[in-house]
A and B are shown apart, each in its own frame.
Chain A
Amino acid sequence: MILIDYKSRKPIYEQIIDNVKELIVSGVLERDEQLPSVRQLAQELAINPNTIQKAYAELERQGVIYSLKGRGSFVGSSLNELRSVQQAALLEEVAQLSGVLCQLAVEQETVCAVVREAYQTQREAKNHD
């Protein structure tokens, strides 16, 4: 379930944290669902169990997951928080891209039109489902 990009510059520890968060935000992992155990992940990914333990501990500290003694780790109730963090990060990206587009002398109206259209298409596709 969790994928590691061995070629990425991002440390594995951070990759695990971000990956779990993404899975929660996108709805793949639901609230109170059990996460793969440290052993499973270490075996599957052939990586250091200590690194996974540390990533899980950090996720727990951030309130993303919780653990039950002897039973494992589970998805916590921080979905809304995670969503808003991701929203803020993505909006920041849109702002930065807009800045670059402005430097490239693209008209404001053109940028807005692209955004509007993409948004509309996505919403229609979602309504179809």
Chain B
Amino acid sequence: MIEVKGLSKKFDQIQALQQVSTQIQKGSIFGLIGSNGAGKSTFLRLLAGIYRPDSGEIFIDGQPVYENEALKQKIFYISDDQFYFPNSNMEEMARYYATIYQQFSFDKFEKLTQLFRLDKKRKLNTFSKGMQKQAHIILALSCQPDYLLCDETFDGLDPVMRQAVKRLLAEAVLDQQLTPVIASHNLRELEDICDHIGLLHQGGVIFERELDHLQSNIHKVQCAFTAPKQRQDFADLDIVTMEQQGNLSILVVRGDSQRTEACMKAMQPLYYELLPLTLEEIFITEMEVLGYDIQQLIY
């Protein structure tokens, strides 16, 4: 389990993270989302023990991670710009990682390079960007870590490879209780693979919740009445945002579907429809509430 308590990190004048507290359960797949510059990468580097926290604590399996060599055996961090030695190939990188990660499995490495059809003797600097990402995913899984920190790792993979990587992650979660933490802007994809989602904004955690819980507790309601309605007419509903187009009202409402549906029925609309929100819509709605919306960006 990863436990983060009151974590803060500052770079000169820039407060990258402020008082972040969260928990990531073992064996779950955690999606980290947030606006640009929200602190996602900083957060991952802190989890990997690369940065020293200014204040606050990070416990992984009950131990602090910074400068903890034994614990770092269990963590693999796939950075956004992957590192490899100049002129090295995958095989050489595998041998290097094997000196660091004691559980490194050459069997797995062989199997995965064949599966991905990568030439392990070809120099990594002749690989395309997507292939370099594949190579690092292979190296990471061969190290057999307990925690896999991915910084926009899926972005840049082709659709077939993404599907393959998702399958590999699912397998590792089942077999080794792997805990992937995935930072990405591809919310559509996180929706398929994650069970928990954390939203970062301006260095703070806005929420951290189970994805199903998140999705079943917020809905878009489209409804029409004989006369236009005002926000206060929907007093029984917990309204996040409301839009009015003539007689048609479009609301984003918190609460489970049964309650929302009952409230809507009681108001006797001409017509109403309840739609679950996609993760992308939840993201945009929550950001709007925080004053980070497209309207402001356009004007």
Contacts and interface: CB of A to CB of B under 8 A. Distances in A.
Interface in A18-46: 38-39, 42-43, 46
Contacts of B255: none
Given A9-B275, A48-B192, A50-B28, A42 B212 contact: no
A63 interface: no
A61 interface: no
Given A46-B166, A47-B192, A48-B194, A38 B212 contact: no
A12 B191 CA distance: 8
B250 interface: no
Contacts of B170: 42-43, 46-49
B174 interface: yes
B192 A50 contact: no
Contacts of B191: 12
A51 B28 CA distance: 10
Contact of B167 (A12, A14, A38, A46): A46
Contacts of B216: 11, 14
Interface residues of B, number: 24
Contact of A11 (B28, B173, B174, B211): B211
Contacts of A10: 276
Given A9-B277, A13-B212, A48 B167 contact: no
Contact of B166 (A9, A39, A47, A51): A47
Contacts of B79: none
Contacts of B15: none
Given A9-B275, A13-B212, A50 B171 contact: no
B193 interface: yes
A119 interface: no
B192 A43 contact: no
A19 to B, nearest CB: 15
Given A11-B276, A39-B174, A43-B170, A51 B215 contact: no
A43 B167 contact: yes
A46 B166 CA distance: 5
A45 B159 CA distance: 14
B24 interface: no
9 contacts: A6-B192, A9-B276, A10-B276, A12-B192, A39-B174, A48-B173, A48-B193, A49-B173, A51-B212
Interface of B: 27-29, 163, 166-167, 170-171, 173-174, 188, 191-195, 211-212, 215-216, 275-278
Given A11-B212, A51-B195, 7 more contacts: A9-B277, A12-B191, A13-B212, A14-B216, A43-B170, A46-B163, A51-B212
6 shortest interchain CB distances as A-B pairs: A46-B166, A42-B170, A11-B215, A50-B195, A9-B276, A13-B212
Interface of A: 6, 9-14, 38-39, 42-43, 46-51, 54
